[in-house]
């Protein structure tokens, strides 16, 4: 059963308070500074009122007025210092809380199953960690900054007003809370609007990320108009949700100000009548200075209601944004390693698949009853048409996904009984889709072995045939390449990824279309380097270009999730089966 909106908000608020609780040692200091600031700001009107009363008496005592004004200036300065300290502490709490939330969100992303990352837009995930966390931070900071001082100001001014004139204080006390009731009424209806706005921002960010990542494809297919229409549609939806949220939330301030203006007018009228009445009746005089003081208190009393109403409205936005971040943090992680999971220290490279079943979608089986036995040091090539399950098999070997049925074992141990970290350390992967981080060429090559020496880096680059183009870069190995290595060609990016694997020299290899973006001449050189690297190592080679698999110890031909042929290159050609058909399609015209 889905949670009701009120329940979700309460749950989110509890989570927020738990994060704030980590910095509870700072809260008393913030409250103390707020108390000092409020106390001094409320005592200053009394001094000003006394100065007014001194002026009303003849002869005027200018020395007394100077003393009162000097004391007022000192107290205002001390109050300002207390407010600065309070704001600094509140900033520290707010930004620390959001830092913790972002760290938890990123830590969760690192433990999410690939199935989640494969099915959710990256832009929306980024929007949750950046935009939603920022909105949450702003709302939290606003709450800390204005809530403490607002509540203390309301309580303290009420006490002072009762002391000066309980009748006026009663009138103010009765009328002012109307602004809070209006604010609550509006806020209860804007939470959903702010959540819709946050979701729209996430979708828009995802679309922008998609456009930037595939701009060349968009230009090549002349789809600029189509992408503009999609962006306009997303932008229009965001604008609608944003305007709805901002419009209804903005009603809070003018309505509360209207009520507070009525309160101020009522106080001024009642106070003036009291001054005249007490003077005419000879009663204890309610002086002009006291009237000025209580009018100042009236302003100070009603002002926090405006601020708190704004805080309440903004806090709805903060809670809606926080809820989206917490949804990410609460996503189910991949199954943890068993407590008794073994750490793979020495890898022989014997791999067995027994009755493996797997599908990304329960309604569409992909791999069914797959059996395979690989001896240590064998080079296994996996070929077949697109969508037959080649890359899926690699994902299963690396435990990016777990089998639905059957088992995969390494050196006689089910890989589900091994720690993921040690299993993946046993493999070196070069994929068709290259990944380079923003940094120097050297940093990208040493990503898997940060402590590598310069000599090792140079040897790996030479073995990958990347040294020749690296030394032509502006700063050689210290040249900074942007995120994804966009300044390099696809082939150069792939050579750097190959150099990275050459450097780590793992006990097993997975090459998934590892030379797809490299020219034929360089590919021949890389194949020789790979042949040397694969010597004595169990290796899995996924390839569409069958020229890269001729020297494999065993070729596995897959179709519709099943192994339909196995054997060496010459054997499979002699059989005249599906492999021979694939091979002849590619190379018959060259024979």
Q: Is residue 341 assigned to a domain? A: no
Q: Is residue 41 assigned to a domain? A: no
Q: Is residue 22 assigned to a domain? A: no
Length of the chain: 591
Same domain, 453 and 312: no
Window from 368-372, 384-388, 456-460 with minimum mean pLDDT = 384-388
Same domain, 480 and 377: yes
Q: What is the pLDDT of residue 2?
A: 46
Q: Are strands 538-542 and 508-512 parallel, antiparallel or unpaired?
A: parallel
pLDDT category at 200 given cuts 50, 70, 90 is: confident
Helix, coil or strand: residue 10: helix
Same domain, 363 and 511: yes
Same domain, 180 and 294: yes
- The answer on pLDDT for 586 being more than 80 is no
- The answer on pLDDT for 516 being more than 70 is no
pLDDT digit string (tens) for 439-460? 888 988 898 888 889 899 999 8
Q: What is the pLDDT of residue 1?
A: 43
Task: Taking residues 137-164, report their average pLDDT.
Answer: 74
Q: Of 329, 359, 386, at which residue does a domain stop?
A: 329
DSSP H/E element including 371: strand 367-374
Same domain, 374 and 462: yes
Distance CA 397, CA 429 (A): 11
CATH number, domain at 438?
Answer: 3.40.50.300
Task: Taking residues 397-412, report their average pLDDT.
Answer: 88
Mean pLDDT of the chain: 78
Same domain, 323 and 237: yes
pLDDT digit string (tens) for 54-109? 776 667 777 888 888 888 889 889 988 988 898 888 888 888 888 888 888 888 88
Closest CA to 334 of 402, 247, 406, 273: 402
CATH number, domain at 117?
Answer: 1.20.1560.10
Q: What is the pLDDT of residue 253?
A: 65
Sign of the dihedral defined by the CA atoms of residues 529, 532, 534, 540, in that order: positive
Same domain, 378 and 287: no
Same domain, 238 and 357: no
Sheet holding 427-430, edge to edge: 427-430, 508-512, 538-542, 379-383, 554-559, 562-567
Q: Of 329, 361, 387, at which residue does a domain stop?
A: 329
Q: Is residue 452 assigned to a domain? A: yes
Same domain, 288 and 357: no
pTM of the model: 0.63
Q: Is residue 560 assigned to a domain? A: yes
Q: Is residue 6 assigned to a domain? A: no
Helix, coil or strand: residue 319: helix
Distance CA 255, CA 262 (A): 11
Same domain, 257 and 404: no
Q: Is residue 250 assigned to a domain? A: yes
Count of the separate structural domains present in the chain:
2
Same domain, 476 and 566: yes
pLDDT digit string (tens) for 294-322? 667 666 666 776 666 667 667 777 777 88
Burial class (CB in 10 A: 0-12, 13-18, 19+), 60: exposed
Task: Taking residues 275-291, report their average pLDDT.
Answer: 57
Q: Is residue 571 assigned to a domain? A: yes
Q: What is the pLDDT of residue 286?
A: 59
Cα distance from N-terminal residue to C-terminal residue, the chain: 66
Task: Taking residues 176-205, report their average pLDDT.
Answer: 72
Structural domain containing residue 224: 96-329
Same domain, 272 and 396: no
- The answer on pLDDT for 394 being more than 80 is yes
């Amino acid at each position: 059963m889905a949670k009701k909106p009120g329940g979700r908000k309460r749950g989110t608020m509890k989570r927020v308070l738990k994060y704030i609780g980590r910095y509870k040692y700072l809260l008393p200091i913030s409250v103390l500074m707020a108390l000092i600031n409020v106390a001094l700001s409320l005592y200053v009107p009394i001094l000003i009122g006394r100065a007014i009363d001194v002026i009303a008496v003849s002869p005027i005592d200018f020395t007394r007025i100077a003393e009162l004004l000097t004391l007022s200036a000192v107290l205002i300065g001390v109050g300002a210092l207390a407010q600065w300290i309070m704001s600094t502490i509140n900033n520290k709490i707010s930004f620390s809380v959001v830092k913790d939330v972002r760290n938890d969100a990123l830590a969760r992303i690192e433990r999410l199953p690939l199935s989640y990352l494969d099915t959710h837009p990256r832009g929306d995930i980024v929007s949750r960690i950046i935009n939603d966390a920022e909105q949450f931070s702003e709302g939290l900071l606003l709450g800390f900054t204005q809530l403490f001082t607002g509540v203390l100001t309301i309580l303290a001014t009420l006490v002072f007003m009762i002391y000066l004139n309980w009748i006026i204080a009663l009138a103010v006390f009765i009328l002012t809370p109307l602004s809070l009731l209006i604010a609550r009424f509006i806020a209860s209806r804007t939470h959903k609007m702010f959540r819709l706005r946050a979701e729209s921002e996430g979708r828009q960010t995802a679309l922008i990320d998609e456009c930037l990542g595939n701009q060349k494809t968009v230009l090549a297919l002349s789809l600029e108009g189509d992408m503009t229409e999609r962006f306009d549609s997303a932008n229009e939806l965001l604008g609608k949700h944003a305007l709805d949220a901002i419009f209804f939330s903005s009603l809070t301030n003018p309505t509360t100000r209207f009520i507070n203006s009525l309160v101020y007018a009522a106080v001024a009228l009642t106070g003036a009548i009291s001054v005249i009445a007490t003077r005419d009746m000879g009663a204890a005089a309610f002086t002009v200075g006291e009237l000025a003081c209580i009018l100042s208190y009236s302003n100070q009393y009603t002002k926090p209601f405006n601020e708190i109403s704004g805080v309440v409205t903004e806090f709805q936005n903060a809670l809606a944004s926080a809820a989206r971040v917490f949804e990410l943090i609460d996503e189910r992680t991949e199954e943890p390693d068993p407590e008794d999971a073994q750490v793979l220290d020495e890898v022989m490279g014997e791999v067995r698949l027994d009755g493996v079943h797997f599908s990304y979608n329960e309604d569409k089986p992909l791999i069914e009853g797959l059996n395979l036995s690989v001896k240590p040091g064998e080079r296994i090539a996996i070929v077949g048409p697109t969508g037959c399950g080649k890359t899926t098999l690699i994902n299963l070997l690396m435990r990016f996904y777990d089998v639905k049925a059957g088992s995969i074992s390494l050196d006689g141990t089910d890989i589900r009984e091994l720690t993921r970290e040690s299993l993946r350390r046993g493999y070196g992967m070069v994929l068709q889709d290259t990944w380079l981080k923003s940094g120097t060429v050297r940093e990208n090559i040493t990503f898997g072995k940060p402590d590598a020496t310069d000599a090792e880096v140079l040897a790996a680059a030479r073995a990958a045939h990347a040294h020749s183009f690296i030394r032509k870069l502006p700063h050689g190995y210290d040249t900074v390449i942007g995120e994804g290595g966009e300044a390099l060609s696809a082939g150069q990016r792939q050579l750097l990824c190959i150099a990275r694997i050459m450097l780590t020299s793992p006990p097993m290899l997975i090459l998934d279309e590892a030379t797809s973006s490299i020219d034929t001449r360089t590919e021949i050189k890389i194949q020789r380097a790979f042949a040397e690297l694969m010597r004595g190592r169990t290796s899995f080679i996924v390839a569409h270009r069958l020229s890269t698999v001729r020297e494999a110890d065993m070729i596995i031909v897959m179709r519709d999730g099943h192994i339909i042929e196995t054997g060496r290159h010459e054997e499979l050609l002699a059989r005249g089966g599906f492999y021979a058909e694939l091979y002849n399609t590619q190379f018959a015209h060259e024979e």
